Amino acid sequence: MMRQQIGELISEALAMFIIIAFGDSVACMYVLYDPSPYQNAYWGVCIAWGLAVTIAIYATGSISGTHANPAVTLALALFRDFPWKKVVPYWIAQVIGAFLGAAIVYALFGPVIDHFNQAHQLTREAGGAAGVFFTHPGLAISPMHALSDQVILTAFLLFGIFAITEQYNEMAPGANSGALIIGLLVATIGACMGYLEAWAINPARDFGPRLFAYLAGWGPSALPGPDNYWWVPIVGPFIGGVVGAGAYQLLVHPFLPARQRALAEARQAKVATSNDLL
């Protein structure tokens, strides 16, 4: 049992490692190069993040379920009987994986980051190129507005994940294609709302790379960040995940025809068993 639990934690760390290694790398491609290959093709950035999620799920889903997001882990514990004793270990593994993913991105793009900062007369301490690692408010967005955005965006994410993975949803994707649809969901959120504050929608996705950047020379520009922003991509997704998952459980789950049939069959079986005992 202990070996399996360790495997689950490794799986969660590996999933986040994959997501950040590819996701922050495409952020580097978007930010650090002039002209950027994605400057007029932002959908490519979104697809790269989405496919990173898809790859992570295919690689690790059979071991841990690939939560790859503390907000997902919390929602599953609240609404789908995921063991509470595993919640905090999963969170820690997810942050570690994101931290290591950021380290790989730095190993790849470190010279390009330094060149970008030199060319633009920026320093790490001032936040130069920090946006390739973690999120920040976009045009006209205050930290408190970003908090509400993160609640809404993560609610969309968890509502979609619960729908895609619902066992009684007869319209859910089959034949192991759920991973692709979840990746497209992430890409769609980014394409529609990503410029608000870079669509963190995942506490580990932001905090792990932010912690790495803090240790790699970005210092207070990473933690606590301008306007003490560091907590927003943590608190917002946690709240939004509960809201989105709860909305699905309240508004959709009770009315699924397959669930209704399963409940009816269970009642009939219970009656039959009771009659046999008489």
**What is the pLDDT, as a whole number, of residue 174?**
80
Segment 219-230 shows an average pLDDT of 97
pLDDT tens-digit profile of 64-97?
Answer: 999 999 999 999 999 999 999 999 999 999 999 9
d(CA 217, CA 166): 44
Is the pLDDT at 1 greater than 70, yes or no? no
Give tens-digit pLDDT for 6-37: 999 999 999 999 999 999 999 999 999 998 98
- Report which of residues 40 and 166 the model is more confident about: 166
Contacting residues for 47 by C-beta, under 8 A, at least 6 apart: 187
At 113 the pLDDT is 98
Least Cα distance to 200 among 257, 227, 240 occurs for 240
* Residue the block writes with tokens 């907590």: 231
The per-residue b/e assignment along 28-43, b for 16 or more CB within 10 angstroms, e otherwise, is bbbbbeeeeebeeeee
**What is the per-residue pLDDT for 278?**
63
Smallest CA-to-CA distance from 201 within 241, 234, 237, 240 is with 237
Tell me the two tokens of residue 136: 């920040």
